[in-house]
Chains A and B, each alone.
Chain A
Amino acid sequence: MARLRLLFGLFILLLGLGWSARIPWGESPAHATLRLSWRCNGQEIKVPIAQDPNLPAHMRLPPDQAYQVRMRSYLLRVLLDGRPLLEKRIEPAGVRHDRPLSVLEELAVAPGRHRVEVEFRPEPLEGVKENLLPGYQGQLDFGAGRVQLITFQEEGHWQLKP
C-alpha cells in the first residue's frame, strides 16, 4: 500500500512537472506595432571657445582650432493619418552626449492601412544653417500582431521592413 501511494505521489509530481512545461500564457495581440529603430551619426556643430585676450599669443589656441565640437540633438516626429503619434527629442548617446544617435521606439497601431509620416531632423539652432533631411511618408499595411519596421540610413534614406 505504501509503495502504491509512493508511486502515485511520484506520478502526480512528475505529471505536474510535465504540465508546467505546457502552461499556455499570453494572448494573440490585436494591435500592430510600428517600430522605429536606427543608429546614425548626427550633425556636429562647432562652438567657438572664448579665449582670454590677456593670454600671451603662444598660449592661445590657433583660430582654426578654437572651438568645441558638439553633437546636435534631433527631433523625432511621427504622424499617423495626419495625427501626431510621437514627438520626442533624441539626444546623442553617452554621458557627454557625443556618441551617435540611437532610436528605438515601438508604437501600437490599429490594424489596417495607415498613412505614416516620420520626421527626423536636427533641433533648430539659432544662426546655424539647417541641412534638412528628407522625412518618410507612405501608406503602410498593418496586420494584427505584425511589426512594421522603419529604419533610417545615414545618407537620409529610409528603409521599410518587412
Chain B
Amino acid sequence: MIPRKPKLSRLLGSWLAPWERLVSWFFGPDYNPTYQSGVLAVYLLALVVASGLPLLFFYKVGAPYESVQWVQGQWALGWLRGLHRYASDAAVVAVFFHALRMLQGGRTSGPRRRAWLSGLALLGLMIFIGVLGLVMVWDEQGEKLAVQGIQFLAGLPFFSEPPGRIFADNQALGESFFFMLIFLHVALPLVLVFLFLAHTSRTARARYWPERHLVRAYGWGLAGLALCLPVPLAAPADLLRLPGRVYLDPWYGFWLPAAEKLGTGGTLLALGLLLLGLGSLPWWWAVDGPGRAQASVVDESSCTGCTQCVQDCPYDAIEMVKRTHLLDGRHSPLVALVNSDLCVSCGLCAASCAPMGVGPPQRTGRDQLRAAEQFASTRDWREGDVVLLACRWGSGEHPGWSAIPGIHCYPTGCCGSIHTSVLELFLRKGAAGVFVLTCPERDCSQREGPKWLRLRVYEDREAELQARVDRRRVRLFACPGVEVERARRELLAFRQELLKDPAGQSLPEGELRCRSSEVQDGQT
C-alpha cells in the first residue's frame, strides 16, 4: 500500500494552496524560498554571524545605546547593522516556512521525530539569542523585552529575590548585565551548531548551503534592503520612564503583546501548551501517514551486494553487512540490511534495485510490476494514450486527472520509488507514452526522488531505464503540487506530440533505442 500524507497535512496543504500558488507564480521553482527554506535559514544565519562579528568590536558594555547609536551614524557600520538585523529576521521566517513545509509534507513522525524535536530546540534558541541581541541595543524596545522577559524568570522557583529588581533603576543596571548579554549572544550560537548537527544527523547527503543563484538573489536583496531602509533605532531606554509606542520586531518579540494581555502566568501557560503541542506533534500529527508505513525489507536471495540501495537511501537507513545465510558461493559476500528505526518507508530503495530485491512490503519493484500489469490489462489502449504517473504526495490525488480523455492516471508513491521497469511495462502494454509528474527536485517529500528518477531515466544510474526504451515516449515533468493546470497543459502537449509523431511507437520493440543518447553520442 502506498502511504499517504497524514490527514492533517492534506488539510494544511489545502489551506495553504492559494498562497503556495501565489509564491510559485512569483518565484518559480528555482527561486521559491519555501522549497529551500532549511538551507536558506542556514545561509541567513551565516550572514548574521558574518555581519555581527565586526559589530562586536564597536559595542561597549559601559555605554550600549551610545555605541549602537554611533554605529548607526557610520555609513558602513549602519549598513552592517541593518544586514545583521534583517538577516536574523529572515532566518526566523525561513525556519517558520521550513517547519510549515515539513508539516504539510507529513515529514515529522517516525524516524524524522528527532529532526522535528531538534528543529524546535533550534528555533527556540534562535529566538532567545535574537531577543538578547535586541536587548543589547538598550533602546525602548530592548527595555520592554528585558523588563517583560525577566518576569518569566520571576515565575521560576530558582530565585530567592525578584530578578526584576535589576531593572528598578538605571544605576542598578551595571556593565555586568550587558557583558552577560554579549557573552550569551556570542556563545549560544555555538550551541546552535551542535543542535544543527543533531537536526541533520539522520539524513544522508544533507545539504547545508543553498544553490548559488539563491545565495546571490537573497544576499544582494538583503544587502540592498539594509542600504535603502536602515533599521530604526528607538529612543534610549530609561527605566524611570514607562516605554510608550515602540518599534516591535514581530519575529522575536511576538510574545510581548501576548504577555501584556495575558499576564506573565497566562503567557507562560500558553507557551507551555504550545510547546507541549509542538513537542508531541510527531505522535499525533501523522497517525495515518508514514509513521504507520512499514520499513523496507531485503530479499537476501536477490541481493547482489551492489550497494546501490545504500547509495540511494536519503536517510542512511541501509548498510551492507556480511551475509550469514545463502553462503553457497553463488551469492555476494555482502548483503543489504535495512535499519527499521531509520527507514521512513519512502520506497526509493525499491527503484534503485535492478533485481528488485529490496523495498517496503508490497512496494518492491516486483510488486510494482505486478500492480502495473494488472492496471494495464484493465485498460482499453487507443492511439496516443498516455499513462500519467503522479506522486500521491504531490498532485497525484487530484480529481482532475481522471477526467482527461486519453490519459490513464496511475497514482504512485514518490516518483523516485517507481522502478524504471514499470515505465517500460506501460509502453509495452500499449501506452503511447508515459508522463511522470514529479515534485520539483528541491521540494520532494522524500528528499531525492525526482533526482534519482531523472538520473535513472536519462543518465544510466543503476536500475536505469533500459536503452531500448525510446526516451521520446517518456516525459518527466517537475511541477509543484499546486500547479495542476500547468502540469495538465504539459501533459496534453506531450500527448499531442505523440499523436503527431507516431513513428516512435511503431518501431519494433527490439529496435527501440534511446534516441537522445544516440544524438549525444553522435555529437561527441
Q: Which residues of A contact B (CB under 8 A)?
A: 2, 5-6, 8-10, 12-14, 17-18, 20-29, 32-33, 35, 37, 39, 93-95, 99-100, 102, 104, 145-147, 149, 151, 161-162
Closest to B144 in A: A26
Docked pose: A5 CA to B22 CA in angstroms: 11
Contact B165 A37 (CB under 8 A): yes
3 shortest A-B CB distances, which residue pairs? A9-B26, A37-B168, A28-B244
Selected contact of A18 from candidates B86, B164, B251, CB within 8 Å: B86
Q: Please determine whether A147 and B241 come into contact, CB atoms closer than 8 angstroms.
A: yes
Question: Which of the residues B33, B228, B232 comes within 8 Å of A22, measured between beta carbons?
Answer: B232
Given the interface pairs A104-B162, A162-B240, the reply to whether A24 lies near B246 with Cβ below 8 Å is: yes
Q: What B residues does A17 contact at CB under 8 A? A: 86, 89-90, 93, 222, 225
**Residue in B closest to A26 when the chains form the complex, CB atoms:** B245
- B232, A25: Cβ atoms under 8 Å? no
Q: Which residue of A lies closest to B162 (CB)?
A: A104
Chain B residues with CB under 8 A of A94? 160
Residue of A10, A93, A146 contacting most chain B CB atoms (<10 Å): A10
B77 within 8 A of partner (CB): no
Known A6-B28, A25-B245, A35-B168; further 10 A-B contacts with Cβ < 8 A:
A6-B31, A6-B217, A10-B217, A10-B218, A13-B221, A17-B89, A17-B225, A24-B246, A93-B161, A95-B160
Q: How far is the CB of B87 from chain A (nearest CB, A)?
A: 10
Residues 151-170 of B, flagged 1 when their CB comes within 8 A of A and 0 if not, give 00000000011101100110
Task: Tell me if B484 is interfacial: C-beta within 8 Å of chain A.
Answer: no
Interface magnitude class on chain B: 35 or more
Give B249-282 interface residues, CB cut-off 8 Å to A: 249-251, 256-257
B63 to chain A, nearest CB (A): 20
B 193-221 binary contact with A (CB < 8 Å = 1; else 0): 00000000000000000000000011001
Taking CB atoms, residues of chain B closer than 8 Å to A8 are 26
**Complex: A18 Cα to B161 Cα, angstroms:** 40
Question: B residues within 8 A CB of A21?
Answer: 85-86, 89, 229, 231-232, 247, 249
Q: Is the CB of A24 within 8 A of B160?
A: no
Query: Residues of A contacting B232 with CB < 8 Å?
Result: 21-22
Interface centre among A9, A22, A29, A94 (most CB of B within 10 A): A9
B160-A99 in contact (CB<8A):
yes
Q: Shortest distance in angstroms between A30's beta carbon and chain B's nearest beta carbon? A: 10
Closest Cβ of chain A: how far from B137's Cβ, in Å?
Answer: 12
Residues of A close to B23: CB separation below 8 A: 9
B161 contacts across to A, CB distance below 8 A? 39, 93, 99-100, 102
Query: Which of A10, A18, A37, A145 meets B242, CB within 8 Å?
Result: A145
CA distance A2 to B30 in the complex (A): 11
Q: How far is the CB of A132 from chain B (nearest CB, A)?
A: 25
Cα A24 to Cα B90 in complex, Å, equals: 19
B236 at the interface (CB under 8 A from A): no
Q: In the assembled complex, which residues on chain B have CB atoms less than 8 Å from the CB atom of A102?
A: 160-162, 165
Task: Give CA–CA (A135, B448) in the complex, Å.
Answer: 75
Smallest CB separation, B227 vs chain A (Å): 11
B283 at the A/B interface (Cβ < 8 Å)? no
B248 within 8 A of A: yes
Residues of B close to A5: CB separation below 8 A: 25-28
Give the CA-CA distance A25 to B248 in the complex, in Å.
6
Are B168 and A149 neighbours in the complex by a CB distance under 8 Å? Answer: yes
B26 touches A149 (CB 8 A): no
A29-B242, A146-B241 known; A10 vs B221 contact (CB < 8 Å): yes
- Minimum CB–CB distance for A134 against chain B, Å: 22
Chain A residue nearest in CB terms to B161: A102
Decide if B162 touches A27 in the complex (CB within 8 Å): no
Bound form: Cα–Cα A13–B160 in Å: 47
A23 to B256, CA, bound (A): 13
**Residues of A contacting B249 with CB < 8 Å?**
20-21, 23
Name the residue of chain A whose CB is nearest to the CB of B246.
A26
- The distance in angstroms between the C-alpha atoms of A10 and B221, with both chains bound, is 7
> How many Å from the CB of B68 to the closest CB on chain A?
15
Residues of A within 8 A of B244 (CB): 26-29, 145
Tell whether, in the assembled complex, residue B164 and residue A104 are in contact, meaning their CB atoms are under 8 Å apart: yes
Question: Which residues from B are CB-within-8-Å of A151?
Answer: 168-169
Asked whether B168 lies within 8 Å of A104 as measured between CB atoms, the reply is yes
Contact present for B229 and A18 (CB under 8 Å): yes
* Contact A23-B169, Cβ < 8 Å, known A147-B239, A147-B241: no
* Residue of A whose beta carbon sits closest to that of B251: A20
Enumerate chain B residues within 8 angstroms of A27, measured Cβ to Cβ: 244-245
